[in-house]
Structure 1
């Protein structure tokens, strides 16, 4: 009872820290909000009964503390510009340092070295928070000061690393982590268009991630072979799990294709969009590699298993939108 109450308090403090960051009118207030967010998230990660979560929380703390220190340094140095101490080239360098600190907090490539390892040591619930909610404040702060010349290289690195890194993985947590890095590259590319498109992409990404991770959490699945073991249990469950993976990869006609479609239509750089699409096909490859045998190989199924209700109603609605929501989104987009 005490542990659940403390977790609720930490979750509320986590939300308050994010709100302080995104609503602050100065960089010092934004930095304080990020620190409140960090200090409330560490106890949620730490589990004394699991040495991997303790190691992950320590890695996360060290990396985030380093990023916060760099962020504070860049804030102080840029504030000294009021006295005209630096020329325009120095200000650009400090702006790049500030951007780098936020990229490090987001875990995008080439600052991604900590992200898959931390995700691997967490349970699905905390990992979902790290892949969704914890991205919100740094992304909004980044939209205030992003350097577009620097941004293009980060986009290319993130999509490349997110695509290649998941090829040889058997852990679903690491696959989701590299998929998150790939999606972060697409989200950052939406800064080249409008913050409105970034927000649409972020909401759909969060929804798809939560819908598929809710299945992994319910059945306590952490590795690919555990997902295959469910194939003997329910063919409907098999269909929903792997179609959600394809939706998260952005395969049409699933809902995950919609935000990518918006970005493809609006980005002016042909080289950038070609590079992004080609490398995202690699991400789809390792999703299809997982789903291929599940869709095309027959399994012997016990008749009594088919009558067991293994699928919660709320998850059914979420995954229905994930699989068939593209039609609804296209209608909404055409009306807009």
Structure 2
């Protein structure tokens, strides 16, 4: 009970740091919000895995380096030295975000943390750096966007680890968020869609204790469990007309309206690769005949709701957008 209350307190402190970073109007408050979020998130990384302490140290060192760069840029601005400030600020936030080419630290630590901690790392923790990048309005993030889309989509094809697959997918989605940096409403909508799509998949693979793709073949899951996992994987890959496709459609519409033909072409080509490895995971999970075991917790009503949300959200939202 004491452990749960401590985690709840740390979660509240972490959310305070996130909100503080988002709502701040000066750089010092933003830096304080980033540090509060960092220090409150590190205890969540501790798990039953023996090497989780190593991941905690790696995460702390990388984030400290990024925070030092951010503080250095802030001090330069305060004393009136503006040379390369934008570049240092952007690089420090790209490191915290885990975007390519500064993405290796994400892949090093995700294998040793739990799935729910992984979900927080790939969604909630990304919000403060994204908001700071939005306020910087940097023009030098085009190259990291292109590198993130190409590297993550190609490197994930040969992956057998579910956590690393989610990590590479997060790097790819980070590039999508950076593309929508000029419109904060679009950015928040995409983050919400990505979080709602990733949460059911993360909960299911955590409950079923799936760490590698071959564990999806030799399984005894129920039909509802398999179908729900299948739908969620396709949604993460952006398969129409599921919820994940809605985010890609919004990003592509924004790119086409801004005449960014290069990014649109790269996005379309790399999204095919992303859809490829998620489709491979989906069909792997549906390959074998099952036998339902008594220890499988089956909640058909909840699974029906999640599948209905994935299937109906895209046409429903597009219809409302066209009518309103």
Q: TM-score, normalised by structure 1?
A: 0.90
2:237 aligned with 1:249: yes
From 194, 197, 200, give the equivalent of 1:205: 194
Query: CA separation of 1:309/1:79 partners in 2, compared to 1, >3 Å: closer, same or farther?
Result: same
Distance, in Å, in 2 between the alignment partners of 1:143 and 1:300 is: 49
Shift of 1:324: 3.0
Shift of 1:226: 1.9
Equivalent position of 2:249 in the other structure: 261
Give a deviation string over 1:64-105, Cα, whole Å, max 9, x none. 011000000011112222xxx55xxx2xx2111101101100
8 Å Cα contact 2:221-2:296 kept in structure 1: no
Equivalent position of 1:324 in the other structure: 312
Shift of 1:30: 0.6
Shift of 1:23: 1.4
Equivalent position of 2:85 in the other structure: 94
8 Å Cα contact 2:216-2:285 kept in structure 1: no
Shift of 1:271: 1.5
Query: CA separation of 1:32/1:312 partners in 2, compared to 1, >3 Å: closer, same or farther?
Result: farther
Distance, in Å, in 1 between the alignment partners of 2:241 and 2:171 is: 23
Shift of 1:147: 1.4
2:322 aligned with 1:334: yes
Distance, in Å, in 2 between the alignment partners of 1:16 and 1:134 is: 12
Give a deviation string over 1:179-218, Cα, whole Å, max 9, x none. 00001111111124x2211111110001001121111122
Equivalent position of 1:143 in the other structure: 134
Give a deviation string over 1:108-167, Cα, whole Å, max 9, x none. 00110101221111001111110111011111111000312x121111011112111211
Equivalent position of 1:180 in the other structure: 170
* Aligned-CA RMSD value: 1.9
8 Å Cα contact 1:170-1:224 kept in structure 2: yes
8 Å Cα contact 2:99-2:175 kept in structure 1: yes
2:228 aligned with 1:240: yes
Shift of 1:219: 1.4
2:111 aligned with 1:116: no
Distance, in Å, in 1 between the alignment partners of 2:280 and 2:298 is: 25
Shift of 1:316: 4.2
Distance, in Å, in 2 between the alignment partners of 1:312 and 1:33 is: 41
8 Å Cα contact 1:211-1:315 kept in structure 2: no
> Is there any run of 5+ residues in structure 1 with no aligned partner, and where?
none
**How many positions carry a matched residue from both structures?**
321
Query: CA separation of 1:135/1:329 partners in 2, compared to 1, >3 Å: closer, same or farther?
Result: same
Equivalent position of 1:72 in the other structure: 71
2:180 aligned with 1:190: yes
Q: TM-score, normalised by structure 2?
A: 0.93
Distance, in Å, in 2 between the alignment partners of 1:219 and 1:312 is: 16
